[in-house]
Amino acid sequence: AQKVTQAQTEISVVEKEDVTLDCVYETRDTTYYLFWYKQPPSGELVFLIRRNSFDEQNEISGRYSWNFQKSTSSFNFTITASQVVDSAVYFCALLNYGGATNKLIFGTGTLLAVQP
Amino acid sequence: DAGITQSPRHKVTETGTPVTLRCHQTENHRYMYWYRQDPGHGLRLIHYSYGVKDTDKGEVSDGYSVSRSKTEDFLLTLESATSSQTSVYFCAIRTGGTEAFFGQGTRLTVV
């Protein structure tokens, strides 16, 4: 079975606070990719990061960082010093990369509200 | 810009009528996906395609069919629209780098 769980439905923080968005996944495949996407109020879906199952190195990009832990099947996303422009819905996604089909599924999303 | 276009962008239709949404890509990618987005449910996979005439069901395929007769177009059809199919529909293409890029979405209202 393939599943992505984002248990946090909504998070509200004040600007400059750090915030972590949780993502837990389930898969039986050994080769897979994990993603984070951002959906701002304008509605488009913006790709943020990709991680493959063989690379557990954490990644930092500016104020964004990602922590991938296979032992706990988690791929968490941290925003440091949050800003109002970070307000959006954030989706975690899983791609099983094997065979011909390559199904890509998403979690239910976390709505992040950053208050000024 | 991943060269993906959805049409129409907005549509209002009556219950029981057939509706077809089109996803067009200009970059010859193999994988294409249709999702619906509803409050509290995130993005749910309806159908996807891994090549011309190669399609498979997703999590919420009941009431929907798809066709892909050429690489660039992936059509989603609601055979007989119901109010429960009121939603925002997103098409995505997946590049060789494995990340997916999305169209702008189609807002469908079934009255």
pLDDT tens-digit map of B26-76: 988 999 999 999 988 999 999 999 999 999 999 999 999 999 999 999 999
Taking CB atoms and an 8 Å cutoff, what residues of chain B touch A96? none
Evaluate if residue B8 carries a pLDDT over 60. Answer: yes
Task: Count other Cβ atoms within 10 Å, centred on residue A77.
Answer: 22
Given CB atoms, is A43 within the 8 Å cutoff of chain B?
Answer: yes
pLDDT of the residue at A1: 77
Among chain B residues, the shortest Cα distance to A48 is held by B99
Evaluate if residue A85 carries a pLDDT over 70. Answer: yes
pLDDT of the residue at A100: 58
Name the A residues in 91-110 with CB < 8 Å from any B CB: 91, 93, 95, 97, 100-109
Phi, psi of B85 (to 5 degrees): -95, 5
Evaluate if residue A102 carries a pLDDT over 90. Answer: no
Taking CB atoms and an 8 Å cutoff, what residues of chain B touch A33? 98-99
Average pLDDT over residues B88-99: 88
pLDDT of the residue at A95: 92
Among A56-65, A69-78, A97-106, the minimum mean pLDDT is found in A97-106
Task: Count other Cβ atoms within 10 Å, centred on residue A90.
Answer: 24
pLDDT of the residue at A88: 98
3-state secondary structure chain A: CCEEECCCCEEEEECCCCEEECCEEECCCCCEEEEEEEECCCCCCEEEEEEECCCCCCEEECCEEEEEEHHHCEEEEEECCCCHHHCEEEEEEEEECCCCCCCEEECCCEEEEEEC
Average pLDDT over residues B84-106: 92
Q: How far is A45 from chain B (nearest CA, A)?
A: 6
Given CB atoms, is B99 within the 8 Å cutoff of chain A?
Answer: yes
Report the distance separating Cα B30 and Cα B25, nearest Å: 10
Average pLDDT over residues A18-37: 94
CB contact under 8 A, B45 and A104: yes
CB contact under 8 A, A104 and B33: yes
Evaluate if residue B97 carries a pLDDT over 80. Answer: no
CB contact under 8 A, A106 and B100: no
Given CB atoms, is B75 within the 8 Å cutoff of chain A?
Answer: no
Q: How far is A90 from chain B (nearest CA, A)?
A: 10
